[in-house]
Amino acid sequence: MSAQAITTDSLGYLARQSIRQGHHRSATSNLAPGYVQANLAILPASLATDFLRFCQQNPKPCPLLAVSSAGDISLPSIAKNLDIRTDVPRYVLWRNGEAMGDLEDLRTVWREDLVTFAIGCSFSFEQALLSARVPVRNIEQNHNVSMYITNIPTQAAGPFSGPMVVSMRPMKAADAIKAIQITSRYPSVHGAPIHFGDPSEIGIKDLDRPDYGDPTEIRSGEVPVFWACGVTPQSAIRSAKPEISITHKPGYMLVTDLLNVELEFR
C-alpha cells in the first residue's frame, strides 16, 4: 500500500482514535464504512515463522494483510499511528489454547516478543457484494454469518494445523455466479468461494447447526455458498496451544486505513 493512500483523517484513523480514547467499545461493523477491517492474531516470536508458513500455505483462509516485527505495536503499512495494545475495542487473551477472558487494553499483558498479524476479513467482500446488488442475508438480518468446521484439512506448519473453517451465505444461482466473480477480485479477503451446494461434500452435517455464528435461513431456490473463513487461523492457534496468544473478540475488529476498493486484485 502506498503511503499517500493513508492520511491522518481517514475514517479508519478516526475510528481507532475513538476506540483508543474509550469512546467506542462495541462491535465494529458499520464503523468507518468503506475501510478494511482485519482479523487480529498476536503470538510470541518463537512461533512467528511457523505461523507465517501456515498462512503462506493456506492463503484462502489466512490472507495476511500485515505482520509486525517483534514487540512493535504498529503496523504502518495498513494503519497510521497504530497502538495495537489500545486500538481494538475488545481482545481475547489465550493461554495454552484456553480463553482467559476479554480485555479492553493489552498494556498490562504486552511483551517485547509479541508479533502482530492482521488477516483479511469477509467484511470487505460483503461490501463489494452489496455494492453490486447481491443480497447478503447475514447483513440484511443483522446477525452473525454461519460458520462451519469442514473436513478439508489445512496444510500444517509446525504446531499449526486443523480443518478449514468456512462461512456460508445462501444465494440464488445467478447471484452466486456474480458473487464468485466479485469475490475472485479480492484474494486478500478470502477470494472466491471454495464450495457451493451439497454441504456433506465438505463434511458439514447440518446447515442449521453452525459451529460458530448464528443459523441462517435458506430460502427456496437458493444454494449455500461457502467461503474460507478467518476463524481457521484462530482455530489453528488454539490447537497449537501457545503459552500466550491474543486475538480480537469476534466482531470487534482492527479497523485499518485501507479502503476496501484498494484490495481489488491485491
Binding site for a copy of itself (CB under 8 A): 173-174, 176-177, 180-181, 184, 192-198, 201, 221, 223
Nearest to a copy of itself of 30, 265 (CB atom): 265
Question: CB of residue 161 vs a copy of itself: minimum separation in angstroms?
Answer: 22
Nearest to a copy of itself of 148, 196 (CB atom): 196
Question: CB of residue 169 vs a copy of itself: minimum separation in angstroms?
Answer: 14
Nearest to a copy of itself of 173, 261 (CB atom): 173
210 C-beta neighbours (distance < 10 Å), count: 20
Residue 118: strand pairing partners: 40, 66
Nearest to a copy of itself of 113, 201 (CB atom): 201
Question: CB of residue 137 vs a copy of itself: minimum separation in angstroms?
Answer: 18
Question: CB of residue 176 vs a copy of itself: minimum separation in angstroms?
Answer: 7
Question: CB of residue 23 vs a copy of itself: minimum separation in angstroms?
Answer: 42
Nearest to a copy of itself of 109, 180 (CB atom): 180
Question: CB of residue 221 vs a copy of itself: minimum separation in angstroms?
Answer: 6
HEC-encoded secondary structure of the chain: CCHHHCCCCCHHHHHHHHHHCCCCCCCCCCCCCCEEEEEEEEEEHHHHHHHHHHHHHCCCCCCEEEECCCCCCCECCCECCCCCCCCCCCEEEEECCEEEEEECCCCCCCCCCEEEEEECCCHHHHHHHHHCCCCCHHHHCCCCCEEEEEEEECCCECCECCEEEEEEEEEEHHHHHHHHHHHHCCHHHCCCCCEECCHHHHCCCCCCCCCECCCCCCCCCEEEEEEECCHHHHHHHHHHCCCCEEEECCCCCEEEEEEHHHHCCC
Nearest to a copy of itself of 24, 172 (CB atom): 172
